Structures are given as C-alpha cells and as structure tokens.
Amino acid sequence: MSLVKYEKRDGVGLVLVDNPPVNAFSVGVPRGIMESLAAAAADPDVSAVVVAGSGRTFIAGADIKRLGAWPEGEPNLRDAIEVCEASEKPVVAAIHGHALGGGLELAMACHYRVSTADARLGQPEVKIGVPPGAGGTQRLPRLVGAAKALEMILSGAPISGAQAAGVGLVDRAVERDLVDKAVAFAAERAASGGPHPRVRDREVRVDDPGIFDAMRKQIERRARGMRAPYACIECVEAAVQLPFDEGIAREYEIFDAQVRSPEAAALRHLFFAERQIARVPGIGKDIVTRDIREGAVIGAGTMGSGIAMNFANAGIPVKLFDLGGEQLDRAMAAIERNYASTVSKGRLSEAAMRERLERITPVLELEAVASADFVIEAVFEEMALKLDTFARLDAICKPEAIIASNTSYLDVNRIAAATGRASQVLGTHFFSPANVMRLLEVVRTDSVSDEVLATTLGVGRRMGKVPVVSGVCHGFIGNRMLEGYLREAAFLVEEGALPQDVDRVLTDFGFPMGPFAVSDLAGLDIGWRSRRDHHAAEDERRYSGTIGDRLCERGCFGQKTGSGYYRYEAGSRAPIPSPEVEALIKEVSAELGIERRAIDDEEILSRCIYPVVNEGAKVLDEGIALRAGDIDIVWLNGYGFPAHRGGPMHYADHVGIASIYRRVCDYHERHGAWWQPAPLLERMAREGTTFAERDA
Ligand code: 3H9
C-alpha cells in the first residue's frame, strides 16, 4: 500500500501523504514524497506542486518509533526535504490539522505555505528529548526571527495557522477549501515565474544578541538534568552565527548525538506509555459510557475541595457536602482564593472563575447529593467511617449513580461490599493538591463494571487528569511503592547520612525535591499520627519513624512550624540544614546502637530507588498495574520522578535488571526482610529480559 499518493489537479502535481493516523514520516513516506516530486519535475504538464496530508492532519513529524533507528540506505526525511527545497517548480505546503516536528520542517523547505486558520504548527521535539533535526532550528529563525523561534522550539507548544500567518511562518491562512486554494496559489506562483524563494537564503532576524544566554538562564530550573533544551538553544545560535550549510550540519550533528541519549530514550518511552494507559482490558472502542451531568463530593477538607474544583473545571456542576457549616465556608473561601490566584497569574479569566465558582454548590444535607450522577467520597481515612458513609450514600443516591472513594490506602473491595451496588463503586485516588496534580489512580474493584470503569476514566480525562488503572491493594500502585523509598531515606539518616545528603542525591537525580524537604512541606504530624495509630502493626521489623517522631514530639512539624528536618526563616520555603536536627539524629543513632558511617551517593541513590523498582515488579507481577509503563506514568505525574529518567521501571531497564536484582539481594541480606526480592525481578534477571520487552 502506498503511503504517498500522487495525482494531477489543474496542471499542479498533488502529493498526498496518506499514513494514518497522523501521517508520520514512517519508512516509505520520504521515498514516496521524493518519487512524487520527481514525477512532477519530469512532467511538462505540471507547473507546480502541492504537498498535503490526507485524512485529519498534515504531518505530525518523524515516526517517533524510528527516531535514531532508520534503516540504512532508505531515503529519510532530510533527503525528502532537500529534494523539495531544490525543486525548480514551486512547491506549496497545504497545512491542516497538525504540522509538527518533521512535518513543519518539510513545510518550511517548501517555497510557500498555505494553512487553515485553525491548524497547529510547532516543533515539539524537545518534549521527546531532542532538538528539531531536519532543519527546523535553521529555517524557523529565518522565517519568524530568533526570539520567536526559540520560544516555539523550547516550549514545544504549537501556534495556530492564523498566528503563523501573523508571524510570517505561513504565506496565507484560509478558512476552507485548503487544497483547492493551495493548488490555485501554486499555479499562480508558477505563472509569475521563478526563482522561487527558499527559506535557507533568508537572513536570520536577531533583535537581541544576548537572548541565547538569557534563555539558558531562564530555563535553568525547568531543564534541570536535561540536555535537550540546551541543545535547542545551541542549534538556533548556530543559525545566527553560521552560514546555512554549516548551521544545518551543526544541527544534524547535535540531533544525531542527542537522539541516542538515555534522556531521549526515556522521553520517547513516556510518549508511548502515556498513550498506552488508555488501553484497558474490557474497555473496547465500542464501550458505551454514561453521561455525567452532575457531580458530588462528600467531605469539604483540602482533598474534597480540590476534587470539587476538578468537577467545576471540567464543566460539571457539583455539590460539595460537609456536616459542618464552618468547614464548608472555609472550603468555599479556599476554593475562591485558589481560583483568584490563578486569575492573578493571568491563567484564568475573571468570567471563567465566576462560572466555575457557580458550578460548586455547598450543601449541608447529604440528601442533596441524591441527584448526582458521580459521587466522590473524600472523608477521613478510616474504614469504619468510609463503610458508614457508603452505606448511607447507597441509600440516598439514585440507583444508576456511580460512587467512588478517594481513599489512598484502604480496601475498596470492602467499601464496595458495604453497598448494594458494588458494580458501581470504585476508587478514584487523587493526589494533593487535587486540583493541580495530574495523576488519578482509578482503582478497579473486583465487582465494578467495565462501563463504570470506562465512564470514570472519561470523567478523569475531562478533569484534565492522567487516569491510570490500578488493582486493589494497600496503597495502590504509587503509595505502595513509595513506602520503601521513604523507609530507606529514613534508615540512611539513622545510619550516617544527613537529610540534606539524601535530598541532594535525589534532586541531582532529577526529583524536584528530596524526601525530607517534601516531608517538611507536607507536614510531619500526619505521618506521626498515623504511626502512633498503626505502630503496633509494624511487628519486629526495624522501625523507620524514630527521627520523625522525635521531631514531632518537639513540635517541629515542618515548614508550617518553621522547623522539621530543616529550619525555615520566616516567610521562606528554603530549607536550611539545622545543627540541632543533626545533633538529634546522632542521638537517635546512638540510642539505636547504630555506629554512624560515611554513606556515599551511589548507596543513597540505590537504597532509595531500588526498593521502588522492586515493589514495582511485585505490583506488576500481581496484576495491580497493567504495564510497567503505567507505573512510570504514575511516578512521573504523582511523585515528581524525573521525566528524563523515564520512570522507575524504564530507569531499571536502563541500569540493567540483573544488576539491580543483585543489589536488592545484597541489601536483603544486609538490611532485612523488607528487601525481599520480587520474584519477577529474579525471573527477569535470569532470563535477561526488560520491562520494555514485557510491555511490548
Ligand atoms: C521529529 O519530527 C524529529 C525531526 O525533527 C527530525 C528527524 C530527523 N510518530 O496522540 P494521539 C501515534 S520528532 C509515531 O493519541 P491525538 C500515537 O502513538 C516528532 N507515532 O492522537 C497514537 O498511536 P496509538 C515530532 C505517532 O489526536 C496515534 O498516533 N512530532 C506520532 O491526541 C494517535 O496519536 C511530535 O512529537 C509520531 N510522530 O494527537 C508529535 N504521533 O493509537 C507527536 C502520533 O497506537 N504527536 N503517533 O496509541 C502528537 O503530539 C499527537 O499525536 C498529535 C495528535 C497532536 C499529532
């Protein structure tokens, strides 16, 4: 089947890329384009060429699966672009849908560009860890100026066809009849005679030569640990400093090195993992989901308020229930403050804020939620209270209503069994702050119907979340895996490291904050209380909460009290290492009979990350997570795992399963039962397989 079609229309050769779903440059597409251009060049009846995309889009770029893995000898995107630019007959790109990455690069190598006003044009390569690599960093600055090009290439965000016309990226934007108009335009340009303009021959406009250094500074925080954004700047800088041929050679060289980097491999993995999460057994394309017109949230604490905002943001009117009027007033005031802060940052209009606020109705009577289609319970994390709440909701809610629990740890199967509608009960585990964090674990109970699960995933997506299906277990995918991470961080400090050592190693790895700074931010008292309630269940294993308990006993709850694992100056969130905490830590080590020792960075990293991998392997083996990629998406969106490491399971593949397994066995021998190696890890180490292979 041909991926590129060629036909003649009114004396113009029409090259139509036909490679659904997004017309990516798969193997065969560049060849097809080159053959079509050759046919047009050889045909005396053809005066000009139009390149367009068939179906819903122009071209979404290089085939990401093939990046850095193109078959030897097969013509590639760069070849097609060269032939296109060298054509003596004018070539016009007719753009609708998306012209992204290599798609836009091809369009910029055409002599002219016509676009629909609503098309999306951009260079998103940085999001998959590479700079544009088929001339994008050289041609885009020549069309729109260095500053705009840098903005587009560094953000990866597309602009509309109408905006593209405004900045000189396209010659015209049209509302309809794109291909007909492009054909007419091409014939007109041919009639006016050549030579036809080539972007490579233009000068680059730079208003401020200091822009490159300024950009490097500006992205420092965001790009921590990543090379791709800097590679993008370097390439655009080359466009300014070097003649076109040298500049593009530089771009190719930088791209070719970067595309083979672990960073690019990690981001490519996440691109596909993000799309895989929607593939859930039992949920086919033909599944009929329910119409959700009204939501309800039970419990107006911080979580409940955030969840109510999610409904409002998704355009779904919601009732927010709490028993206490004061609590409800506080919640509504907090919600309003939250929206107002978004408005003040220019990210929401005043009118949109009003609309969203109007969608949230505080209610004091549980009966008021009877009309809701989707109810989310967000009361205290206590089984008895949850069971009682669900029994009451079951009696009040309309029969077809879905009732979800926002529990972080509890057994949702038991909660479902407290109702007479177990097929309509499941878990929706939001992350705090619930209106900000993108992760949503959707907990699939034994009894929930496929239709209800699909509806819930749809509601999550409407809320702008990344919904990942998890099976039922203590802590679900994410929190279950987090336990080992926090436990080892605490033990490392008892054994000889300081909180700032552990945090530094993990922020150097790429986490935005280390575990101790995060604990201070969240408040140490929450964990303290829960340890006091559940400590008895910890049996004879080594207890990881001693230092945290001591801090709390002294009233050091973290940032909110000005001291925790660090101290904080008034009004500042910057953690400052504290000599008193260090003394306390040493005291605890001595009390526990631990002789403190120097712990190197490598041990800190492996002690914190490998339990996550080990538990992840158990989660996968037990079927709690559907794929290793799902686990990576959970850790990326819920726990700040650095994207350029690809998530814990991808990182494990990168390090090598066998070497991680050996380390886990070693720690198991030295430190205790909680390092029990996952049977899956053992099997994979023996068989020499990877999580990526398991997912494929
Ligand atoms: C590049 O161009 C490098 C060059 O500079 C230099 C080269 C030398 N490749 O997202 P969707 C698949 S790098 C392969 O669900 P939407 C996707 O996996 C590229 N596959 O649809 C999915 O498959 P499945 C720069 C791709 O409507 C299906 O298509 N370009 C590619 O929500 C539908 O995708 C980009 O980074 C691809 N390029 O969004 C653009 N694109 O159904 C990446 C999509 O099996 N793409 N697929 O799960 C996108 O941003 C979105 O797909 C797009 C459509 C906005 C186009």
Ligand 1 mean position, distance from CA 437 (Å): 24
Tell whether 204 and 349 lie within a shared domain. Answer: no
- Say what the pLDDT of residue 369 is: 97
The sign of the CA dihedral 114, 120, 126, 129 is: negative
Q: How deeply is 289 buried, as exposed, middle or buried, from its count of CB atoms within 10 A (0-12, 13-18, 19+)? A: middle
Which segments of 101-135 does DSSP mark as H helices, in order?
Answer: 102-109
- Respond yes or no: is residue 105 known to be catalytic: yes
The pLDDT assigned to 528 comes to 86
Are 204 and 315 part of one and the same domain? no
How many other C-beta atoms lie within 10 A of the C-beta of residue 554?
A: 13
Residue 328's domain is classified under what CATH number?
A: 3.40.50.720
* pLDDT at residue 104 greater than cutoff 50: yes
Residue 109 sits in a domain whose CATH number is: 3.90.226.10
Q: How far is the CA of 2 from the centre of ligand 1 (A)?
A: 20
Q: Which atom of ligand 1 is nearest to the CA of 279?
A: 48
- The pLDDT, as a whole number, for residue 534 is 65
Specify if 290 maps to a domain. Answer: no
Quote the percentage of the chain above a pLDDT of 90.
Answer: 92
- The per-residue pLDDT for range 460-485, each reduced to its tens digit, is 999 999 999 999 999 999 999 999 99
In angstroms, rounded to a whole number, what is the distance separating the alpha carbons of residues 199 and 139? 6
Domain boundary among 212, 240, 258: 258
Q: Is 250 found in the same domain as 172?
A: yes
Residue 217 neighbours by CB under 8 Å, 6+ apart:
none
Our mutation pick for probing the ligand 1 site, out of 25, 64, 254, counting the most ligand atoms within 8 A of Cβ, is 64
Provide mean pLDDT across the span 476-504. Answer: 96
pLDDT tens digits, one per residue of 602-631: 999 999 999 999 999 999 999 999 999 999
572 and 622 belong to one structural domain: no
For 527, the domain range is 497-591
Does the pLDDT at position 112 exceed 90? yes
d(CA 154, CA 316): 34
In a domain, 282, yes or no: no
Ligand 1 atom at minimum distance from 278 CA:
48
> Would residue 635 count as lying in a domain?
yes
On the question of pLDDT at 536 being above 60, the answer is no
pLDDT in tens, 188-239: 999 998 789 999 999 998 888 899 999 999 999 888 889 999 999 999 999 9
Instruction: Give the pLDDT of residue 207.
Output: 84
Nearest CA to ligand 1 atom 18: 272
Instruction: Label the pairing between strands 425-430 and 402-405.
Output: parallel
| C-alpha span between 117 and 5 (Å, rounded) | 25
Q: Are 76 and 156 within one domain?
A: yes
Region 180-193 average pLDDT: 96
pLDDT greater than 60 at residue 540: no
Phi, psi of 649 (to 5 degrees): -75, -40
539 pLDDT band (50/70/90 cuts)?
A: very low
Is residue 221 within 8 Å of residue 158, measured between CB atoms? no
For residue 334, is it within any domain?
A: yes
In ligand 1, which atom is closest to the CA atom of 62?
2
pLDDT (mean) for 396-423: 96
The mean pLDDT value for 337-357 works out to 96
| Helix (H) or strand (E) run with residue 405 in it | strand 402-405
**How many residues does this entry show for the chain?**
696
Q: How many other C-beta atoms lie within 10 A of the C-beta of residue 494?
A: 20
Mean pLDDT for the chain overall: 95
What's the domain count of the chain?
A: 4
266 within some domain: no
Ligand 1, atom 47, residue with closest C-alpha: 22
Confidence of residue 673 (pLDDT cuts 50, 70, 90): confident
Q: Output the domain CATH number for residue 677.
A: 1.10.1040.50
Please check whether residue 681 lies inside any domain of the structure: yes
Do 440 and 369 share a structural domain? yes
Confidence of residue 395 (pLDDT cuts 50, 70, 90): very high
Out of 72, 74, 82, 105, pick the active-site residue. Answer: 105
**Residues 373, 231 within the same domain:** no
Supply the residue whose CA is at minimum distance from atom 46 of ligand 1: 60
Q: What burial class does residue 172 get, using C-beta atoms within 10 Å of its C-beta: 0-12 exposed, 13-18 middle, 19+ buried?
A: middle
Same domain for 463 and 413: yes
In ligand 1, the atom with minimum distance to the C-alpha of 76 is 8
Same domain for 312 and 192, yes or no, is no
Decide if pLDDT at 1 tops 80. Answer: no
Position 222 scores a pLDDT of: 85
Span from the CA of 587 to the centroid of ligand 1 (angstroms): 55
For this structure, is 234 an active site residue?
A: no
Same domain as 612, residue 687: yes
Q: Are residues 323 and 362 in the same domain?
A: yes
> Worst-scoring range by mean pLDDT, 123-127, 281-285, 392-396?
281-285
**Measuring from each residue's beta carbon to the nearest atom of ligand 1, which residues come in under 6 Å?**
21-22, 24, 60-65, 77, 98, 100-102, 105, 124-125, 128, 132-134, 136, 272, 275
| Residue with CA nearest ligand 1 atom 8 | 133
**From atom 54 of ligand 1, which residue's Cα is the shortest distance away?**
22
> What's the pLDDT band for 571 if we cut at 50, 70, 90?
confident
Which residue among 7, 74, 125, 251 is the active-site one? Answer: 125
Q: Are the C-beta atoms of 548 and 556 separated by less than 8 Å?
A: no
CA of 103 to the centre of ligand 1 (A): 11
- The predicted model gives 513-525 an average pLDDT of 93
